[in-house]
Amino acid sequence: MTPLAVKRSQTDGFDVLSVEGELDIATAPRMLAALNEALAEMAAPVIVDLSKVIFMDSTGLALLINARRRVRRRGQGFAIVCPGGPISRVFEIADMVESLHVCPDRESARRAAAQPATA
């Protein structure tokens, strides 16, 4: 098992969580803690960068769906950076690419997260 690392930074007016490793049931508490910290402050739109995630199961997907719901409820934008590959396939299979604003790079994620929350 590859441990999960989550680094939080403020970049260009966005709260960015850069995630590395495996996002699954074993590492979910670490990811949840990072999301909770970002969501508690809710000072900017949130971007979760999964570019360096090598594995994600349904637990990781559920965490991201819940995070998006919490962010949108507070009127902020939310997007996920996920280049092609097995991790993006998880979003495709679950039909969550559009609703979670899954983007191939940070630039497109910034544009998606900058959109005002509507639901």
Mind listing the pLDDT tens digit of every residue in the chain (119 residues)? Answer: 678 999 999 988 999 999 999 999 999 999 999 999 888 887 789 999 999 999 999 999 999 999 999 998 888 999 999 998 899 999 999 999 999 999 999 999 999 999 866 54
Asked if residues 91 and 100 have their Cβ atoms less than 8 Å apart, the reply is yes
How far from each other are the two terminal CA atoms of the chain, in whole angstroms? 36
Please state the domain extents for the chain: 5-113
Domain 5-113 in this protein, CATH class: alpha beta
